[in-house]
Amino acid sequence: MCGVAALLLGDTKATTAAVELHESLYFLQHRGQDAAGITSCSNGRVYQCKGNGTASKVFTEGLRLQYLPGYMGLGHLRYPTAGTSSASEAQPFYVNSPYGISMSVNGNLVNTQDLCNFLDGEARRHVNSDSDSELLLNIFAHGLQKLGKRRANSEDIFTALGDVYSMCQGAFACTAMIAGFGILGFRDANGIRPLCLGSRPSTTLPGATDYFMASESVALKQLGFRDIIDVLPGQAVFIEKGQAPIMRQIVERRSYTPDCFEMVYFARPDSCIDGISVYRSRQNMGVKLAKKIREVLGEDGVKDIDAVIPVPETSNIAAVSLANELGKPYVTALIKNRYVHRTFLLPNQALRQKSVRRKLSPIESEFRGRNLIIVDDSLVRGTTSREIVQMAREAGATRVIFVSCSPECTHPHIYGIDLADPADLIAHGKTTQEVAKYIHADEVIFQGLEDLKDACREAAEGTSQVEDFEVGVFCGKYVTDVPEGYFAHLSELRHGKPAQKAGMNDVPAGGDEVGVVSSSGPLNSLPDAGETPDRREDVSLYNFGGEFASHEK
Ligand X SMILES: O=P(O)(O)OC[C@H]1O[C@H](OP(=O)(O)OP(=O)(O)O)[C@H](O)[C@@H]1O
Ligand Y SMILES: NC(=O)CC[C@H](N)C(=O)O
Which residues are annotated as part of the binding site? 314, 376-377
The piece of 18-26, 99-107, 305-313, 318-326 that touches ligand Y (CB under 6 A) is 99-107
The piece of 165-173, 187-195, 306-314, 511-519 that touches Mg ion (CB under 5 A) is 306-314
Cα–Cα distance, 524 to 542 (Å, whole number): 7
Among 114, 313, 364, 458, binds ligand X (CB under 6 A): 313
Is 314 near Mg ion (CB under 5 A)? yes
Query: 106 vs 235, which CB is nearer to ligand Y?
Result: 106
Q: Show contacts with ligand Y in window 438-497 (CB under 6 A).
A: none
Cα–Cα distance, 486 to 422 (Å, whole number): 13
The piece of 37-45, 77-85, 309-317, 527-535 that touches Mg ion (CB under 5 A) is 309-317
CB of 79 to ligand Y, least distance (A): 4
Is 132 near ligand Y (CB under 6 A)? yes
Is 81 near ligand Y (CB under 6 A)? yes
CB of 430 to ligand Y, least distance (A): 27
Name the percent of the chain in helix, strand, coil, to the closest 5: 35, 20, 45
CB of 398 to ligand X, least distance (A): 23
Tell me which of ligand X, ligand Y, Mg ion, none is bound by residue 342, counting a contact when its beta carbon lies within the kind-specific cut-off of 5 to 8 angstroms: ligand X
Tell me which of Mg ion, ligand Y, ligand X, none is bound by residue 78, counting a contact when its beta carbon lies within the kind-specific cut-off of 5 to 8 angstroms: ligand Y
Is 283 near ligand Y (CB under 6 A)? no
Q: Which residue is nearest to Mg ion (CB)?
A: 314
* Distance set, CA 301 to CA 166, 254, 342, 401 (Å): 54, 45, 33, 11
Does 2 qualify as catalytic in the annotation?
yes
Is 389 near ligand X (CB under 6 A)? no
Query: 29 vs 550, which CB is nearer to ligand X?
Result: 29
Beta strands in 124-231 (DSSP E): 170-178, 182-187, 196-201, 209-214, 226-230
* Residue 73 bridge partners (DSSP): 7, 40
Is 79 near ligand Y (CB under 6 A)? yes
Q: Are 208 and 11 in contact (CB under 8 A)?
A: yes
Cα–Cα distance, 201 to 260 (Å, whole number): 34
Residue 220 belongs to what H/E stretch? helix 217-222
Tell me which of ligand X, Mg ion, ligand Y, none is bound by residue 379, counting a contact when its beta carbon lies within the kind-specific cut-off of 5 to 8 angstroms: ligand X
Query: 343 vs 480, which CB is nearer to ligand X?
Result: 343
Type of residue numbered 115: L
Q: Are 219 and 6 in contact (CB under 8 A)?
A: no
Q: How many CA atoms lie less than 13 Å away from 486 in the CB half-sphere?
A: 19
Site for ligand Y (CB under 6 A): how many residues? Answer: 17
Interface mask toward ligand Y for 2-31; x: CB under 6 A: x-----------------------------
Using CB atoms within 10 A of its CB, is residue 522 exposed (0-12), middle (13-18) or buried (19+)? middle
Q: Are 89 and 127 in contact (CB under 8 A)?
A: no
Is 474 near ligand X (CB under 6 A)? no
Q: Where are the alpha helices (DSSP H) in 395-446?
A: 432-439
Q: Are 483 and 110 in contact (CB under 8 A)?
A: yes
Q: Show contacts with ligand X in window 254-273 (CB under 6 A).
A: 265
The footprint of ligand Y (CB under 6 A) covers: 1-2, 78-83, 89, 105-108, 131-133, 416
Would you please indicate which residues are annotated as catalytic (active-site) residues?
2
